[in-house]
Amino acid sequence: ENKWCYSPCGIMDQYVSSATSENAMLFIDCRSYEYEEICMKQPNTVVLVITNSNVKHSIGSGEYPVRVQQCQRVTQLLQQHNNKIESLRDVTDIEILESIKNNDKNKDDDDDIDVLFRRARHAVSENARTLQSKSCIESGDWVRLGQLMNDSHASMRDDYEVSCTEIDILVELAQNFDDGVYGSRLTGGGFGGCTVTLVEKNQADALMEYLKVEYKSKADKECE
C-alpha cells in the first residue's frame, strides 16, 4: 500500500484482520512487528461500541500524509539533540520534548515549530497511553481505561488535529451519556470514520439509540 498505492498507512488493519482471534485484542509493536493477543478481564460486563459517523476520509490524500511528514520532520529536529532517537517511539519524556522545543536555536518559524512539537507530543503521550491501556484491559480497570480513551481523543483533536466536527460531536455525546460510559474516542486514521466507546454491556443498546437520535439532531447526519 505504501509503495504501490501511495498510501502512507500503518500495519494495524492488516495485522488485526489476519492475526487476531475471536474475542481478543492485538497489541502490536510497530518497530519489531511482534504482536501479542490480549483479552479483556470480565468481558461480559463491558463492551466496545463502534459508531460510524458516515464522514468519509482517505488515507492516501488530504491531511493524513501531512501528519506523517510532520512526524518525520520533528524526528529529524530531535535527532540534532540526540542521535540515538530513531523515531518518536524513542522519546519517552514529555518534559524533555518541551525543553528541546523551547531551547531550539534553529527556529525559522516559531509557529511551524510549535505545530511540529504538538504532533510529537501527541505521539509520545499516545505511546504511553497505549502501554497503560494494555494493563487496564488485562486487569479490568475500566475507569482508568476510559480516562485514557478520553485523554487520547483530546490529544488527537488538539495536538494531532485529526478529528472533525462530527467525530467530536459523537465523542462528546457518548462521554456525556447519563450512565455506563467509561470513555470514548476517535478510532482509525481520523478526519472522519468511527468512534469507539467503552460502555457497560447493559447500557449499550440505550447508548446506541441515544447516539442515533442526538447525532442526527446536532450534526444533521445519520450514524450507524
The HSE-up count of residue 216 (CA atoms within 13 Å, CB side) is 8
Q: CB–CB of 27/19 below 8 Å?
A: no
What is the number of alpha carbons within 13 Å of residue 78 lying toward its C-beta? 27
Contact 71, 123 (CB under 8 A): yes
For residues 162 and 188, give the distance between their C-alpha atoms in angstroms, rounded to a whole number.
10
Please say whether the beta carbons of 38 and 21 come within 8 A. Answer: no
Q: Reply yes or no on whether 178 is catalytic.
A: no
Question: What's the rounded Cα separation, in Å, for the pair 129 and 123?
Answer: 10
- Set of cell numbers at residue 92: 519517552
Distance CA 176, CA 187 (A): 18
214, three cell numbers: 442526538
Among 181, 129, 138, 177, CA closest to 156: 129
Q: Which of 13, 110, 179, 205 is catalytic?
A: 13
Which three cell numbers mark 198? 467503552
E strand spans, the chain: 25-28, 35-38, 46-52, 181-187, 194-200
> Catalytic residue positions?
13
